[in-house]
Structure 1
Amino acid sequence: MVSSRTWKELGVFGGLIVAMHVAYYTIQNNPSLVAPHQRSELFYVCFNFYGFNFYLYYLVNWPEYYQVAEHPNGQIMGYIMGKAEGRDENWHGHVTALSVAPDYRRLGLAARMMHTLEHISEMKKAYFVDLFVRVSNHIAISMYKALGYVVYREIIDYYSGPRDENAYDMRKAMSMDKEKKSVIPLPHPVHSNDI
């Protein structure tokens, strides 16, 4: 049976971030442990966007928004991290990162972790949950739509790199937003500098 534990259960400094940090460098030094394409897919979000300290900051400030899916043998199958932010009717939960190891995809783990994050956001009386996703990530977009998320707006050049890419800001209204105002799509894209 797959277990799923929150960061509070794992302990703030003994949780997934530290384990992934150690695992990342262990795998870098022993490449035969994980196939290269799997290694990059699992760890890309954690170490190529912001760095370890950024994620540790999230962990310390919003531990309830962290969850790890763990196989009975102790192997990490996936994780989700997020936060609560905003004010008044813009108070919301935010999905910062969601990743499932390639061998454990299509098992419903991502949906289960998203539901947990949504439940925590409901308990905090959030009006909606949002996330950003690359416009080219059709698989993720389809999954989020199946979970009830809508494209609220397109953000121009949100992702930078060799080729800048736009993002969708996808949202799902929570019960606090009785009129579903938070998910009424904007009629035009916005630039990343304007968010």
Structure 2
Amino acid sequence: MKYYFYHILSWPQLLYVAEDYGGKIVGYVLAKMEEETTECHGHITSLAVVRTHRKLGLATKLMTAAQNAMGEVFGAEYVSLHVRRSNRAAFNLYTQTLGYKIHDIEAKYYADGEDAYDMRKQLKGRQHQMLPRRVQEEEHLLVRSDAEDYESSLPFCWLIVVILKWYDPSNPDLMVRA
């Protein structure tokens, strides 16, 4: 859980959720900015859409929103992600729909020993904006450039509910790591 809270508090503008008309959360993307490299780039940590809402374009919309925020808010040069070699559906989404390319293969990346594709997508131009302490509304979320005052930057209790609803490591339909 700490891992997810760290993401939410550090990069609140890189968390997006999809809700159905009844307000039920049916998908999310959780991303971060890589801090330990010389290149400014983002990383998709986790993407999930419940089975009943797949093939509706939700994953594409969630990914596009996160990618756009990485470029516009942080000036990211590219976005990276990892995907299991056996996950053909996700691989096709990333390569065919979203334009990611294989950068490398990481042997035994996952706990069960499966390899991962290390994938990247170049972002068009660097559009870095500094928005210190300025709040901007975008698709029902408050977006900030810093997470220092997170309680006013995002509906914090709502985010905890989102994570708790989704956190079920025994249910592969809910937690699909990118």
* Same structural fold, with TM-score higher than 0.5 when normalized by the shorter chain: yes
Residue of 123, 142, 149 corresponding to 2:92? 142
Name the amino acid aligned to 2:24. Q
Given the alignment of the two structures, is residue 69 of structure 1 paired with residue 22 of structure 2, yes or no?
Answer: no
Determine the C-alpha separation between the residues in 1 that align with 2:94 and 2:22.
29
Displacement after TM superposition at 1:90 (Å) = 2.1
Q: Deviations over 1:8-61 (max 9, x none)?
A: xxxxxxxxxxxxxxxxxxxxxxxxxxxxxxxxxxxxxxxxxxxx1210111111
Given the alignment of the two structures, is residue 94 of structure 1 paired with residue 43 of structure 2, yes or no?
Answer: yes
Residue of 93, 107, 111 corresponding to 1:160? 111
Larger radius of gyration: 1
Name the amino acid aligned to 2:89. I
Name the amino acid aligned to 1:91. C
Displacement after TM superposition at 1:141 (Å) = 0.4
Q: Deviations over 1:137-173 (max 9, x none)?
A: 0110011002100001000110012xx1100011100
Name the amino acid aligned to 1:128. Y
**3-state SS, counterpart of residue 83 of structure 2:** strand
Name the amino acid aligned to 2:93. M
Determine the C-alpha separation between the residues in 2 that align with 1:95 and 1:175.
17
**3-state SS, counterpart of residue 90 of structure 1:** coil
**3-state SS, counterpart of residue 67 of structure 1:** strand
**3-state SS, counterpart of residue 120 of structure 1:** helix
Determine the C-alpha separation between the residues in 2 that align with 1:95 and 1:76.
19
Determine the C-alpha separation between the residues in 1 that align with 2:122 and 2:51.
29
Name the amino acid aligned to 1:142. N
TM-score (norm 2): 0.66
Q: Deviations over 1:89-148 (max 9, x none)?
A: 521111000000010000000000111111011111111001000011011001100210
Q: Check whether the contact 1:90–1:127 (CA below 8 A) recurs between aligned residues.
A: yes
**3-state SS, counterpart of residue 55 of structure 1:** helix
- Name the residue aligned to 1:55: 4
**3-state SS, counterpart of residue 157 of structure 1:** coil
Name the amino acid aligned to 2:54. R
Q: Which runs of 5+ in 2 are unaligned?
A: 127-178
Determine the C-alpha separation between the residues in 2 that align with 1:137 and 1:176.
30
Q: Check whether the contact 1:133–1:167 (CA below 8 A) recurs between aligned residues.
A: yes
- Name the residue aligned to 1:175: 124
**3-state SS, counterpart of residue 136 of structure 1:** coil
Determine the C-alpha separation between the residues in 1 that align with 2:5 and 2:60.
24
Given the alignment of the two structures, is residue 78 of structure 1 paired with residue 40 of structure 2, yes or no?
Answer: no
Runs of 4+ in 1 over 6 A off after TM superposition: none
Displacement after TM superposition at 1:87 (Å) = 6.1
Q: Check whether the contact 1:89–1:127 (CA below 8 A) recurs between aligned residues.
A: no
- Percent identity reads 37
Between the two proteins, the alignment pairs up a number of residues equal to 124
Q: Check whether the contact 1:148–1:172 (CA below 8 A) recurs between aligned residues.
A: yes
RMSD: 1.4
